[in-house]
Amino acid sequence: MQLQEFADRSHLDPSTIEAWVNAEWLVAHPPGHQFSDQDLARAHLIQDLKRDLGINDEGIALALYLLDELYGLRCLLRDIQAMRTTASERTH
Q: Which of 48, 53, 30, 26 lies closest to 39, judged by CA?
A: 26
- Residue 16's CB is within 10 A of a number of other CB atoms, namely 16
Q: Which of 70, 52, 74, 72 lies closest to 62, judged by CA?
A: 70
DSSP 15-42: HHHHHHHHTTSS-PBTTTTB--HHHHHH
- pLDDT value of position 92: 67
Q: Please give the CATH number for the structural domain made up of 3-91.
A: 1.10.1660
C-alpha–C-alpha distance, residues 55 and 45, integer Å: 11
Half-sphere exposure at residue 51, Cβ-oriented, CA atoms within 13 angstroms: 7
The radius of gyration computed from the CA coordinates of the chain, to the nearest angstrom, equals 17
pLDDT digits (tens, 9 = 90+) for 9-56: 999 999 999 999 999 999 988 877 799 999 999 999 999 999 999 999
The model's pTM: 0.78
